Amino acid sequence: MAFEIGASAIASVLGMIWRFLEDFLPGGQIIKIVSNIVVAGVVVILAFGAIFSGASLSLLTGNIFVAFVFFLGVGYAAASLIADLIGL
C-alpha cells in the first residue's frame, strides 16, 4: 500500500515538473496528450458513475501502472491550471 501511495505522489510531482519544464524536456507534448486523455477519462468515469454503480475512480487507480499514468496526468493538469491562473 505504501509503495502505491509513494508512486502516486512521485507521479504527480513529475507531472507538475514536466509541465513547467515541457519546453526543455523531451516528450513534453506526449505528457500533455496523456494529461488531456486522463482528464477526459475522469470526466467520463464520473459521468457514468452517476448511472452505473461499478464506474468509479478505482477503475483508474486499481492497477499501479494505470495509477501512475493517471497521477502523472493529474499532476500535469494541476500545474497547467496553476500556471494559467498566475499567467505563466
Number of domains in the chain: 1
Using one digit for the tens of pLDDT, what is the confidence trace for 3-25? 566 777 778 888 788 777 777 77
Q: Amino acid letter at 80?
A: S
Residue 25 C-alpha cell reads as: 524536456
Domain that residue 53 falls in? 2-86
Helix (H) or strand (E) holding 7: helix 2-20
In whole angstroms, give the CA distance from residue 75 to residue 18.
Answer: 9
Provide the phi-psi class of 49: left if phi over 0, else alpha when psi is between -120 and 50, else beta: alpha
Using one digit for the tens of pLDDT, what is the confidence trace for 24-59? 777 767 777 877 888 887 778 777 777 777 666 676
Q: Amino acid letter at 40?
A: A
